Chain A
């Protein structure tokens, strides 16, 4: 007797998963790209993150999918960065080295260059805060920090960024 492939009941999570792709793929890509500044690697991380979400599609609710995606992408990115040893320690950089002779188009370009000089953890929390509007608690869930640590890192980053652009304005 012939045997036929079994028809399984349709999973509604597939539809919601595809909605996640439409809603969050740009956001995750943007966040990763700003960190590692490599389009190909950023795309790989995004793809890897969504595949991991797909594996867990039955366990993750649609409401939690965004933070789950960012958490996966963040940890994947951290693994990549540590492998490639691209951490920059801002405390080892004298203030005098922060000056530039380039002509900047606008404040955003200046800020994004300043962000690249932040320590990895400060950069990540600031990007999550400003790009996605996450609360301290949500950022903490993604990065594995507590609320207070997130707040401290954000405050440090803001003070550094202000010093960076303030120093440039004094030079210019």
Chain B
């Protein structure tokens, strides 16, 4: 009967139904009574599921995320579009409980701490005239520069009146014909005034001094190319090594007496029977510090300007060993360098040129 009322019977089935009802009138009466009554219907809008926002998912790169959380993080990261922000606001207004979650999401941004790296200086590298890294380079160059400085002025056989300052500036002058040089006596300590200072730290005294080295001088060219024409001579500086000695005494002081408890002498130069050239000294120091053979890096011809090199060396020495160095130059009215004074913790050196 229900199928008939819903129009689901075929014509043949309907005829069969009518034939049946004619023989069963009471069933027809029941059907007609039911047809006249109204069946209750449910309101479509009477039941609402409250938690649908929490169920919605969003997908990103094949990853599924809870939609509300996704929107909150997008808002935090600055990825949310204006429509997404609006939608998020709508959700929070409809579900005040979710607003608390939004507040929690706003708290998950990390704040960097205040930790600092404790020893930045150890990370840094320094360069003097292009030589890179390794404080041993500077220490070696500094000591060698000290040695260079003390052998200036140039020993000039043929022009005893030559100004040393001219050699330091080193530009195209008739200076020395090295091939004719006969004398090799060393001018190491001539015109050099040295004050040996004593630095005391607790009961340890340190005395630094310079002593004369060997008498064999070797020339070092200052120009890359010899002068042509009338000035067909080479600019050179004659160098001879000096021994720098540092004497360390540990003294026990009792009243006015001092008793030497220990004594140690440190030679800044390598102990050799023969003298050592600047390049050899540098090479040895650098090789000892780095383990690398530096012979290939040492070339014959160089535009070394002695004063600048020494000054850099002295500054490097101060930087490495941590004591201040004061360098003063004195010029005459004609602009020629007359005197160099280097004042350090251990040595005060002045040289009249």
Which chain A residues have a beta carbon within 8 Å of chain B's beta carbons? 1-11, 14, 17-18, 21-22, 25-30, 33-34, 43, 46-47, 50, 54, 107-108, 111-112, 115, 126-127, 129-131, 148-149, 151-152, 154-155, 158-159, 161-162, 165-166, 169
Contacts and interface: CB of A to CB of B under 8 A. Distances in A.
Nearest to B109: A130
B110 A111 contact: yes
Contact of A165 (B63, B104, B127, B302): B104
B219 A26 contact: no
B-side binding surface: helix, strand, loop or mixed?
Answer: mixed
B111 A130 contact: yes
A41 to B, nearest CB: 13
B273 interface: no
A10 B127 contact: yes
B116 A18 contact: no
A105 B129 CA distance: 54
B112 interface: yes
Given A3-B279, A10-B129, A162 B108 contact: yes
Given A47-B123, A50-B123, A155-B73, A161 B131 contact: no
A21 B116 contact: no
A4 B304 contact: yes
A22 B101 CA distance: 40
Contacts of B124: 17-18, 21
5 contacts: A3-B277, A4-B302, A25-B120, A26-B117, A111-B107
Contact of B141 (A2, A5, A22, A26): A5
Residue among B72, B107, B303 facing the most chain A CB atoms (10 A cut-off): B107
B257 interface: no
A47 B118 CA distance: 11
Interface in B84-123: 101, 104-105, 107-113, 115-120, 122-123
Interface residues of B, number: 57
Given A14-B127, A162-B101, A112 B279 contact: no
B125 A1 contact: no
B111 A108 contact: yes
A30 B117 CA distance: 8
Contact of A14 (B60, B122, B126, B277): B126
A144 B23 CA distance: 86
Interface string B303-326: 110000100000000000000000
A113 to B, nearest CB: 12
B110 A159 contact: no
B300 A29 contact: no
Given A111-B110, A166-B104, A5 B219 contact: no
A26 B115 CA distance: 7
A9 B303 CA distance: 12
Contacts of B278: 2, 4
B221 interface: yes
A55 to B, nearest CB: 10
B63 to A, nearest CB: 5
B61 interface: yes
Contact of B107 (A3, A5, A165): A165
A7 B132 contact: no
Contacts of A3: 277, 279, 298-300
Contacts of B304: 4, 7
Given A18-B125, A50-B123, A158-B108, A7 B130 contact: yes
B333 interface: no
Given A6-B298, A10-B127, A152-B61, A33 B73 contact: no
Contacts of A10: 127, 129-130
Contacts of B133: 54
A47 B117 CA distance: 10
Nearest to B65: A155
Nearest to A153: B63
B77 interface: yes
A2 B108 contact: no
Contact of A8 (B73, B108, B116, B131): B131
B136 interface: no
